[in-house]
Amino acid sequence: DIQMTQSPSSLSASVGDRVTITCRASQGISTWLAWYQQKPEKAPKSLIYAASSLQSGVPSRFSGSGSGTDFTLTISSLQPEDFATYYCQQYFSYPLTFGGGTKVEIK
């Protein structure tokens, strides 16, 4: 199985800050990586696929990069509605696997 490791597991940031979350795969997955946002008691929301492509309707302050084993999710200017937990996920091979999540909290 491909292990997905996210860091940090949590972070505190202020509105307007630039935030970067990293995700590392235990083996190469090309760009077959997605990012999801989840708010408390809500279903996940799809943000990014193919490592850097934004899902329809996702604000442009979100961006993704990387290939192979190392990936990043960047929020260029954190907004109040962005405080949530973020998960990466590989869909290169079965079983599909998720990172452990990064909780973005208000500083």
42, 68 in Cβ contact below 8 A?
Answer: no
Task: Tell me if 62 contacts another protein by CB under 8 A.
Answer: no
18 φ/ψ angles, rounded to the nearest 5 degrees: -95, 130
24 binds another protein (CB under 8 A): no
Pick from 2, 34, 78, 84 the residue near another protein by CB under 8 A: 34
Among 5, 20, 52, 55, binds another protein (CB under 8 A): 55
CA–CA distance, 17 with 12 (Å, rounded to integer): 10
Rounded to whole angstroms, the Cα distance separating 36 from 11 reads 17
Rule CB under 8 A: which residues touch another protein?
32, 34, 36, 38, 42-46, 49-50, 55, 87, 89, 91-92, 94-101
